[in-house]
Every structure is written in structure tokens, then in C-alpha cells.
Structure 1
Amino acid sequence: MSNPVKAVPQLTLRAVILAIVLAVILSAANAYLGLFAGLTIATAIPAAVVSMGVLRLLGGGTILENNIVQTGASAGSSIAAGVIFTIPALIILGYWDDFKYSWVLAIAGLGGLLGVLFSVPLRRSMIVEEPLPFPEGKAAAEVLKAGENPGPGLKILALSATLGGLIKAAAASGMRLIPDTAAGAGFFGKYLGYMGTNLSPALLGVGYIVGLNIGIVVVSGSILSWHIAIPLYHMFFLDTDPALATSIAGAGAEDIAGAIWSAKIRYLGVGAMLIGGVWTLFSLRKSLLSGVKSGIAAARKGSGEKVAETERDLPMKWMLVALVAFVVPLLLLYQAIVGMWSVSIPMAIIMIVAGFLFVSVSAYLAGLVGSSNNPVSGITIATILFASAVLLVLLGEGGKMAVGASGAPLGAVAAIMIGAVVCCAAAVGGDNLQDLKAGYIVGATPWKQQLMLGIGAFSCALIMAPVLNLLAQAYGIGAPTPEHPNALSAPQATLMASVAKGMFGGELPWTVIGIGAVVGAAIIALDEWLKATGKTFRVPVLAAAIGIYLPLELMVPIFLGGLLAYLVEKRHGMVGTHDEAARDRLHRPGTLFAAGLITGEALMGIFIAIPIVLSGRADVIAAPESLQFGKYVGLAVLALVAWLLYRTGAKANPNA
């Protein structure tokens, strides 16, 4: 139940300014993390802790002021996710040479604001009438309620952020004291074996936050790709692809595994994502209709009756006016791409319809598994495929007309643009409901939170293009090149580019995608059986698909982080407990330590980029070769971080 709080400051000037500053910093950090690992994390909890510390220095802040700060600041993760999952595809396709400021601002800003608008009518359905768990929202509310003494939390954040930053500075993209990955591969008879782990503390932190269940699911997906599918393809099907066989002739086992994964096997994940997206939409059909009805009913009630402060959303009539106002510039943006009103108008309509549907899906998934686990990429793939199918009809052969230096098909560029707006809207929509859940628990005013989220989202959109250009110049984005051997892989954007281009005359391994869809259907069936039999362990299909699609070495530390969270629960005898509030309290120190690792590493990645860009040399801060250590030192460093993370969580008091 919400607890109404009267005459308590909420949307104050200092709260708005602090929220904007934190949103910008956290969006930059998440942009790096997403391009590096294909994942972003929710930032509401660290933002709440920082807010409580800063406002205390300024004379003390109310719980509702701190709630406003974490609401605006959390927009940083959602805008970053929407942008880095899609817009780098325009670089990968060759349509852009760099990130165009005005275009990135239009896509991210308008997409983010649409996400706020679309999520407003869903609040009553998903939070008030049929409440979903919204785990991160509940955790953020617990942090806010325990805000009388933010000092210990700030200390944990500061120490772990410093540790994460120092290790990033020592890694391959910085001083090169330790490598980024410890991996090995070889042939066991005809079997091609591969094992490896990334040495990133940030990924360990991601795993601790998402937990063991998700950690097992994603690493199992990678095991399916790397320990089953790749060896089988190498043994029995490589001869059917002479071009691939020729390209890997004479290569080492590790390079062969990577080439097969890149060219073929990762598309199993595409198929699983597609079937997972369709299933998710079908599963949520009743919730979508309920959300719309609840929003309209609340608007009618608000026009004739006095509504409690804790139930006041942004007025529905303003939502409709703003929706029209935002669609017009998007329509002009699409017209600038295709040059045909007969195509740009349907594109705008697709964007509106898909935007609302997928914001609803995103909000529901965020309510179930949290914003960090929200598979926005699967939602975006479904949007791009649907948009591509419509554009194939509208553009015909014109959709294959080349634009851009590398001959990117016009239809593929247009589909990416639609997907980018929808992706930003879906990411912000899911995050918005998470924040509104926290606000509902602490007695905040919904419309003030919704306004703050819009301000935070647009503030982040203002700095996305410069951050992306800095990272692209320093590290490279996409496939490694001689100039950028450790390029940020941008796995989600690379996938979006491949799917869009494949729909307009490019080549996609449709057989592999079809097999992936069958695998996805089997995972759905397994998850439904687990649900029907009352099992607490679940297998969300989109989480499994992400594991299938991403490299194994990225999933291993995520699994290990989840295992650490489980061991902390086991130490305190809380494995399997249904007391979510107690679990949140138990994991709060560990979660803050994990969030610090992620933030510190990501921010250091951006800071390292500055001297690299200014000097034009990737090795500008590299140490002499005599001081560069191997993977075993890197593994020892990761083990030390894991021990510190476990120790921080194990010393927690679940009753505090």
C-alpha cells in the first residue's frame, strides 16, 4: 500500500539538477558497457545512495526528493540502452561515418519522451490494480526508506568504483598490464573445444545483480552455442560453406571457433529472440488491453473527481497532444531518409503502434525480472523485422537501392531508424514503471516522477553523440581492424545491422535462424512446464537467447557473479525465501559494490578514450612489454574482486 505524504518537497531545483548530472554520467557509463558487453544495468539504486549523500551535505533531503533524483538519474541506463543497441548499426552498415549529433538527439530524445508517454496509462494496471514485483523498484524503495545513514553505502560505492576503474586502466585497452580475456581452445579428436572468460569486474557485478537463475540461463545458452553447436557445425557442416572453410584454413582452434560463431551459430540466438518476442506479445495481450482501459478510466475519473496526490498521472489529454507533437518531427525525419511521403507516413504509423505495444512488453518484463534483465534487444529485432516486411512492400526494389559509402540498402537504414526510436521508447518505458513502483511504495506523486524521467531522458540524449564518437575514435565499433584490434563489439547493434541488411538483399543464414526458433520454442515449453509445476527456477526465453547470441567469455563472469549472490544467500540461510524485502536488504551492500564495479570500469573506459583520441594512438598509455602480464595474473585479479564482492555481501545484516 502507498503511504500518502503531504506537503513534502519533491520536484525541487536541487533535486532536478542533481538528477540531470547523475543521469548524464550514468548514461555515458552504460553506453560503454553496452557497446562492450551487449548489456546495460539499472542505475536507480546507486543514484539513490549518491543522492542521499549529496543532499545531506546540502542540508538534508526528503525521501521524496531522493526519489525524484533516482527517477531522473535512472534514465541514463535506459537511454543508453536504446541508443547503443541500434544507432551504431548505421555506422556498421556504412550509412554514417560518424554519429550525427542532430539525428542522434532526435532519435534518442523523441524516442525517450515517447517511452514516458506510452508508459503513463500502464501504471495503474501494472502497479496498482494487478501489481507486478518490479524487483529493482522495490529495492530502490528499500534503499530510500533506509536513507537515514547513507554513509556506509557511499563508502562501498566509492571503494568498488575505484577498484573497477583501476583494473580497467590496467587492462588491454589501457596500460595493458593484464589482458581482457583468458581463453583457450583445441581439438580433442574431431571435437573443437573452447573455454574462456572475460576478466571484467563489471561483468561480475552484472551477474551479482541479476542473480544465479539468470546467470545459469545465459551461460547455458552460450554452452549450447560454443560446446554443442560450433563443434557439430565444424565436424559435419563446414564443407557445405566453402567460403567459410577457406577463410579459416590454417587458423588456430580459437580463431576457427570464433569465425564459425560469427558467421553462423550466433544466428541461433536471433531465431530464439524472434520466437521469444512473438510469445511475449501473445502472453501479454490481456495486460496490454487492461492497461489502456485503466488509463482511460483514470483520465475520466480525474476530469470530474478529486484524485489523491499519490494517484495523479500526467493528464491523458496532454499525452495525446504531446504524442502528436512528437510524431511530426519523426515523420519529417523519416521523410528525409526515404524522400517519399507514401513511405514515411506508414513508417511513422508503424513506429507509433510498435512503440506502444513494445513499451507495454518492456514494462511487463521489467516488472517480472527487472530492468537489468529486460531483453529490449529482442523487442527491437521484432520491430526491425516487422518494419522491414512492410518496407519491402512499400519500397519494392527501391528498398535495395544503395545509400551510404558502403552501399547500405535504403530499406535497411529506414528499418534501423524505426527500430531505434522504438528501442529508446521501450527501454525508457520499462525503466519508468520501475521508478513509479518505488514512488508508489514511498508515497510519491506519479506525474512529478513522469516529468522528471522525461527531463532526465532528454538530458541524456543531448550527450549521446559526443560520447559515442569519442568511443568510436578511441576503440572502434564493430569488427576488429588493424587500427582497432580491441574494438567495442557492439553485439546488439551488429545483430540489428545484419538482420536489417539481410531483409533487403543481403545474406542471412535462414536455416540456422529457423533452428534457433525451434530451440526458442522448446525453451518456452520448458519454462511453461516449470511455471505449471510451481518451480522457482525459470528459463526466460529471451535471456537464454541472449546467452546463445553473445560470446561465451562474456557469460561466464555473469554466471560467477550470480553464483556469488547465491552463496551470500546460502550463508545467511535465505535460499528459497519468499521474503523479498529481507532478500533486498541482504543484498544491498553487495549490490552497491557490484554497481560500483560497473560504474567505475565504464567511466574509466571513457576517460581512457580521451588521450587515445587526442594522440591518435591506441597504445598511448600502454606500459612497456616487460611489465605486461599474462592471463593468469588477470584471473588472479578477477578472483580477488570476486572474493571482495562475496565478503561485502556475506558481512551484510539481513535484518538491518
Structure 2
Amino acid sequence: MNSEQTPQLTLRAVVLAIVLAMILSAANAYLGLFAGLTIATAIPAAVVSMGVLRLLGGGTILENNIVQTGASAGSSIAAGVIFTIPALIIMGYWQDFRYSWVLAIAGLGGLLGVLFSVPLRRTMIVEEPLPFPEGKAAAEVLKAGENPGPGIRILAFSAAVGGFLKLAAASGLKMIPDSWATAGFFANGKGLAYLGTNLSPALLGVGYIVGLNIGIVVLSGAVLSWHIAIPLYNALFLGSDPALAAQVAGASAVDTAFAIWSTKVRYLGVGAMLVGGVWTLFSLRKSLASGIRSGFAAARKAKGEAVAETDRDLPMKWMLIALVVFVIPLAVLYHAIVSSDASVSSPWAIGILMTIIMIVAGFLFVSVSAYLAGLVGSSNNPVSGITIATILFASVILVFLLGRDSPIGAVAAIMIGAVVCCAAAVGGDNLQDLKAGYIVGATPWKQQLMLAIGAFSCALIMAPVLNLLAAAYGIGAPTAEHPNPLAAPQAMLMASVAKGMFGGKLPWDMIAIGGAIGAAIIALDEWLKARGAKFRVPVLAAAIGIYLPLELMVPIFLGGLISHFVQKKHKVSDDDELEKDRIHRPGTLFSAGLITGEALMGIAIAVPIVVSGSAEVLALPEAWHFNQWIGLVVLAVVGWLLYRTGSKSRPHQELPVE
């Protein structure tokens, strides 16, 4: 295909990409705050693009590639923002999300992610190509040129299902509860057992997309917390913890389990994540250094030579100019943070040093993120571990400069980590999109420009979306006004780590035990790797399971189980990645629709709640409220629909060419 003559960066493609990016970023923001996970959006965006452009007279494969490139920024910007910025609310530094600051952090961080990832394209995609599984999958969708009609119908139907069930749930009409749970004491109150599951269809969809391996790992982490650590603490240590014992005196078994988890056991996950983040960097040290050297060597070699359109990146000179332009506002922002503490004698010097830390960490961790995205895909990219490492690194330096009791030290560390997190998420996503473009014959600089446009477009809406969600549901710890808030697990973790480094009190004994658990998980994973096992135990996935409530992990596991049954029905080998992608595509689209429909309805429901000031504004009379067993039946029906949609795919039939 001649990329010079085939339309790519057309006005309609750019506009459609921006619209999809904004919608998907809002949906992923809700999902990430709710469940601590985001999903890659390139394939659903590609299917929607093919359908919309066909209605507008037909689109080229390269136009559709541009749309999916820009739209995929929705998941990466949302992840970068919700993993870090809510920590400023949780720490009490902000009362709401400030528009200009969120825009600067997310927008400039995303643009830096694009710039930092450009030198890595040649070595990771062309010279020493990494798999980039989601990039390959998106390219196959684009190349097949399949009739987008069935795909759009699947997305629309499942989005309607997800949206309706979210409206019917406890935050809307209150017809169906949000979760099912049961717990009880035994052995004279020393024993404690808890079982529960969230009833969210979106979590089933997440599980289907991430697969059974990850589903087993996250559920195992939750079982470690809820079926081992919490009962042990209740039986052996609660009596020696007078504050917690007084808190749970007379409480139900469910409330006791959650109290032990929230104040003690969840910090096992913090320790495991800290160890996992450090291990990620250490294990990639050689590949990282090699990738950086090769990228710059290739850029110098190409200077002054005629370069094919399919190998043309953004010019290095303009990248360096853009880097300076983007960094200056961040330096001003960091100065504003430091100068808010009157005891700091040289706020400009410290602000500039913070900027340097951000640039160095940003470039290094964008490289790490790109490499990991190439190995395991963007959905499994441990950006949160990268961010933890950044915050720890920044905190160590800032403790030396500001002192451990600094009132703004933790905030400054979060601000550095937030920019790096956005950059790392976008950088990994950029390489994934460039892999798809490389396969279909696209022009790299046009994709890089489109991703930059998409990332900044998403940044424009992040603050309003977050403010709406915070006002309607609450974020972080439960309060009287919001007893069941959005958990924001990564942001809670970032706040805990930063506060712990600057005078805060953390249960370091539990964090240390969690670190030991993380080390044991790493050892197990390395042993499995050495044996060539297909099943792996990524430490950060296990840590998320330890850190989050059990009820969130159960439907993720069930979704992975459905994905496994679909694959078994079609008798597809785990080694055949292309065939796996083909047979899972209908189920993936159904899952993406469930997630998007539920998330967008969650945002829509927030509007009347915020306007009225009442969480009960949409609630139906109590006679219409069903018990949690009906909720289980509804979840089972959604699971059956997901399996039925996936099992009807025909992997061996050639798809029609567009």
C-alpha cells in the first residue's frame, strides 16, 4: 500500500478519533476508580471507525488506523490520571480537582509520553521487534476489513445491557444491589469467614479481556487477603490491637472483615506492589539500556538520509523544541507547589530540580512501559508499579531537600509521579499503535501526531469527569455522605506511600510482610518462567488482588473463566495468538460494550445526584427493590450472554474483505 497516496490524517478521521478518545477516557476513568483496572480501547475504536466511516462514504484502512490510534489515548490518559491525581484529594491537599492543574499534568504528561517514545520505535518495532500483542490484534482487525455491522451491533447491545443494569443498581434505581456477600464468626468468635462478589457486568467484561491467567492470579491474591490473612489477624492479633478491637466491638462479621482489611491487611498489597515495582525496573535494566542506545543511534543514522514514508518519525529537532516548550509550564507548576511552603528558602531551585527528576524518570520509565507493552500488552502493563518507583525515587531526594516533616513533600512527590505516570501510559500505548501501523503500512509521524492530539483532547475533560464522580460517589475512604465510594486503589496506594515517606504513620510491619510475599511471588514466577510454563504469576497483578476487596476479583475471575471456555470450545491452542484473537473478538467486543455502557451510565447517573444533592434521587419505591440473590441471577444471565456471543464466533471462516 502506498501510504503517500492513501488518505490517513483526514479531518473526519481526526474528529472521530477525538470524540471516541473523550468517550473512552471518561469510561476508563470510572472503571479505573471503581476496580483499579483499565482496558485497551484500540480494537473497539477500530470497529466503530470502520462502521462510521462506511456510513460517510467509506474509509481507508489507514484512516481507520488513525482513528484507533487517537482513540486509544482514552485508556492511557485515564490510567495516568486516576492512578495518581486522586491522591491529592485523598491526602486533603485539594477539595476538588482543579481544571488547569489536571490539564497541565495530564495534557503535558501525555505529550511528553509521545515525545519520549518516538526514539524507541525503530529498535522495538523494526530492528528487534517485540510482539506487541494488542498492536498485532488491532492490525488484524484493520487488515481483515471485516463487515463492521455485526461488531457494532454487538457493541451497541452489550453497552445497552451494561448501561441498563448500572441504572438499575444501587446508585440508580436501587432495583438490584451492587454486591452479594455473606460472612460469619465461628470458634467462639475467633474464626471469621467471608464470601462475596460484586454484581457488576463490567467486571465480567474486564475478566474476559484480561483472560483466565490474570483472573486466577488476582483472585488468588484476594483469597490470600480474605481467606487467610484476615481470619488469622482476627484469631491471633485482634486482641492485642485495642483501637481496632474497640472499632469492631459488636460489629457484624462482614463489617469486622472489612475493618481488618482496610486498616491492616490491604497494606500487604502495598508491600507487594513496592517490591514488584522495583523488580520490574531491575529485571529490565539491560533491555532498557539497549533500547535507549539503539533508538538514538538509529535517529543519528537516519539524519540527512532519504527516509521512506513508512519509516518517517516526528523530526528530532522539533521534538527537542517541543520538549522544552512542554517542560516550562511544569517547572512553573512545581515552583508553585514548593513556594506554598514559606519555610522553603529556594523554591525555584527545588522546582527546577523536580522538573529534572521528572524528565529523567519520565524518559526512563516511558522506555520501560514501551518494552512491557511490547511483551505483555497495554492492558497488562504495570504502570502503577512504575509510578510507585517514581514516587519513591522522588521522595528520597525531596526528603533530603525539604525534610521528612515537610507539609508539601508528599504533594510534590505525587505531582512528579503523576506526570511520569501519564507519560509512561501514553508511551506504551504509542508503541502499541505504531506496531499496528507498521503492519498495515502507515506513516509513523502521522500516528504520533494523532496520538498527541488524542491525549491532549482527553486531558481537556478529565477534571470535570473526576469532579462529577467525586461529588456523586466519593473517592477513597468511606464517609458518612459516601459510605460506598469509588475505591481508587492505585491513588490510595500512591497517597499512602507518599505520606509514609513524609512523616505519616503506616503499618510498616504489614508492608514488610507484604514485601516478603511479593518476593516469594517473584521467585515463583521466575521458577515458572525457567520451566517454560504457560501459566505465569505477575507480581503486580497478585498485589492488586491482595490490595482490593475480594468481591471485585470474583467477577474478574469468572470473566476469565468464560474466556477460557470459549477458547476450549473452538479447540484453539494457547500458542496460536492470531487464532485466539480471532475467536475472542466477538466476546471482546461484547465485553468492551458492557464496560463502556456501565461506565457511561455511571457518569450520567452522577449528574442528577450532584444537581439534587441526594444519592436517592433516582431510587424507586422499596417494593421495587430486589434482594442480592436476584442480582446473582442477573449476573449469571449476563455471563451466559457473554459466553454465547463468544462461542458463536467462527474462527476458521475467512472474513469478507472491506
Query: Are 2:631 and 1:624 aligned?
Result: no
Equivalent residue for 1:405?
A: none
Q: 1:72 aligns with which of 70, 73, 78?
A: 70
Query: What amino acid maps onto 2:360 in structure 1?
Result: V
C-alpha displacement at 1:148, in angstroms?
4.0
Equivalent residue for 1:591?
A: 588
- Cα deviation, 1:178-202, whole Å, max 9, x if unaligned, reads 1111011112323211111110000
Equivalent residue for 1:244?
A: 244
Equivalent residue for 1:379?
A: 386
Equivalent residue for 1:309?
A: 309
Equivalent residue for 1:447?
A: 445
Distance 1:619 1:368 in 2: 46
Match of 1:372, SS state, is: coil
Distance 1:482 1:269 in 2: 26
Distance 1:202 1:591 in 2: 12
C-alpha displacement at 1:52, in angstroms?
0.5
Distance 1:540 1:647 in 2: 30
Q: 1:31 aligns with which of 9, 29, 32?
A: 29
Query: Are 2:364 and 1:362 aligned?
Result: no
Structure 1 residue runs of 5 or longer lacking an equivalent are: 402-408
Equivalent residue for 1:163?
A: 161
Equivalent residue for 2:357?
A: 350
Equivalent residue for 2:640?
A: 643
Match of 1:141, SS state, is: helix
Distance 2:646 2:497 in 1: 41
Query: What amino acid maps onto 1:581 in structure 2?
Result: L
Match of 1:266, SS state, is: helix
Distance 1:626 1:388 in 2: 54
Distance 2:513 2:412 in 1: 28
Match of 2:379, SS state, is: helix
Query: What amino acid maps onto 1:550 in structure 2?
Result: L
The answer on whether the counterparts of 2:3 and 2:442 sit within 8 Å (CA) in structure 1 is yes
Distance 1:610 1:42 in 2: 26
Deviates more, 1:505-514 or 1:235-244: 235-244
Equivalent residue for 1:259?
A: 259
Equivalent residue for 1:394?
A: 401
Equivalent residue for 1:406?
A: none
- Cα deviation, 1:302-333, whole Å, max 9, x if unaligned, reads 22211121111112222222222211111110
Matching of residues 96-111 of structure 1 within 5 Å: 96-111=94-109
The answer on whether the counterparts of 1:24 and 1:463 sit within 8 Å (CA) in structure 2 is yes
Paired positions, count: 644
Match of 1:618, SS state, is: coil
Query: What amino acid maps onto 1:21 in structure 2?
Result: V
Distance 2:240 2:354 in 1: 39
The answer on whether the counterparts of 1:30 and 1:602 sit within 8 Å (CA) in structure 2 is yes
TM-score normalised by length of structure 2:
0.96
Equivalent residue for 1:540?
A: 538
Equivalent residue for 1:506?
A: 504
The answer on whether the counterparts of 2:175 and 2:625 sit within 8 Å (CA) in structure 1 is yes
Query: Are 2:166 and 1:198 aligned?
Result: no
Match of 2:551, SS state, is: helix
Equivalent residue for 2:210?
A: 210
C-alpha displacement at 1:66, in angstroms?
0.3
Match of 1:448, SS state, is: helix
Distance 2:491 2:25 in 1: 17
- Cα deviation, 1:62-115, whole Å, max 9, x if unaligned, reads 000000000000101111111111111111111111111000000001111111
Query: Are 2:328 and 1:321 aligned?
Result: no
Distance 2:375 2:230 in 1: 32
Match of 1:132, SS state, is: coil
- Cα deviation, 1:388-431, whole Å, max 9, x if unaligned, reads 1111100015xx34xxxxxxx31111111111111111111111
The answer on whether the counterparts of 1:87 and 1:493 sit within 8 Å (CA) in structure 2 is yes
C-alpha displacement at 1:6, in angstroms?
4.4
The answer on whether the counterparts of 2:292 and 2:367 sit within 8 Å (CA) in structure 1 is no
Match of 2:80, SS state, is: helix
Deviates more, 1:366-375 or 1:424-433: 366-375
C-alpha displacement at 1:433, in angstroms?
1.2
Equivalent residue for 2:280?
A: 280
Distance 2:517 2:474 in 1: 33
The answer on whether the counterparts of 1:125 and 1:287 sit within 8 Å (CA) in structure 2 is no
The answer on whether the counterparts of 2:3 and 2:443 sit within 8 Å (CA) in structure 1 is no
C-alpha displacement at 1:297, in angstroms?
2.0
C-alpha displacement at 1:365, in angstroms?
1.9
Equivalent residue for 1:92?
A: 90
The answer on whether the counterparts of 2:76 and 2:429 sit within 8 Å (CA) in structure 1 is yes
Query: What amino acid maps onto 1:352 in structure 2?
Result: I
Equivalent residue for 1:331?
A: 331
Match of 2:592, SS state, is: helix
The answer on whether the counterparts of 1:20 and 1:459 sit within 8 Å (CA) in structure 2 is yes
Deviates more, 1:243-252 or 1:448-457: 243-252
Equivalent residue for 1:232?
A: 232
- Cα deviation, 1:573-630, whole Å, max 9, x if unaligned, reads 11x3322111111100000000000000000001111111111111111111111011
Query: What amino acid maps onto 1:367 in structure 2?
Result: G
C-alpha displacement at 1:298, in angstroms?
2.1
Q: 2:478 aligns with which of 464, 480, 490?
A: 480
The answer on whether the counterparts of 1:124 and 1:291 sit within 8 Å (CA) in structure 2 is no
Query: Are 2:630 and 1:633 aligned?
Result: yes
Q: How many percent of aligned residue pairs carry the same amino acid?
A: 80
The answer on whether the counterparts of 1:439 and 1:445 sit within 8 Å (CA) in structure 2 is yes
C-alpha displacement at 1:482, in angstroms?
2.1
Query: What amino acid maps onto 1:601 in structure 2?
Result: E
Distance 2:365 2:265 in 1: 27
List structure 1 runs of 4+ shifted beyond 6 angstroms: none
> CA, structure 1 residues 560+4, in 2 after alignment: closer, same or farther (shift >3 Å)?
farther
Equivalent residue for 2:454?
A: 456
Equivalent residue for 2:436?
A: 438
Query: What amino acid maps onto 2:265 in structure 1?
Result: I
Distance 2:81 2:156 in 1: 28
Distance 1:510 1:638 in 2: 39
The answer on whether the counterparts of 1:123 and 1:291 sit within 8 Å (CA) in structure 2 is no
Query: What amino acid maps onto 1:295 in structure 2?
Result: G
Equivalent residue for 1:614?
A: 611
Equivalent residue for 1:300?
A: 300
The answer on whether the counterparts of 2:434 and 2:444 sit within 8 Å (CA) in structure 1 is yes
C-alpha displacement at 1:5, in angstroms?
4.1
C-alpha displacement at 1:4, in angstroms?
6.0
Equivalent residue for 2:493?
A: 495
Distance 1:245 1:619 in 2: 33
- Cα deviation, 1:191-217, whole Å, max 9, x if unaligned, reads 211111110000000000000011111
Matching of residues 168-179 of structure 1 within 5 Å: 168-179=166-177
Matching of residues 8-87 of structure 1 within 5 Å: 8-87=6-85
Query: What amino acid maps onto 2:185 in structure 1?
Result: F
Match of 1:373, SS state, is: coil
Query: What amino acid maps onto 1:645 in structure 2?
Result: L
Match of 2:335, SS state, is: helix
Match of 2:482, SS state, is: coil
C-alpha displacement at 1:125, in angstroms?
2.2
Distance 1:57 1:9 in 2: 17
Q: Cα RMSD over matched residues? A: 1.2
C-alpha displacement at 1:643, in angstroms?
0.2
Distance 2:229 2:501 in 1: 25
- Cα deviation, 1:35-81, whole Å, max 9, x if unaligned, reads 11111111111111110011001100000000000000010111111
Structure 2 residue runs of 5 or longer lacking an equivalent are: 340-346, 654-658
C-alpha displacement at 1:301, in angstroms?
2.5
Match of 2:193, SS state, is: strand
Query: What amino acid maps onto 2:304 in structure 1?
Result: G
C-alpha displacement at 1:20, in angstroms?
0.4
Deviates more, 1:64-73 or 1:380-389: 380-389
Query: What amino acid maps onto 1:251 in structure 2?
Result: A
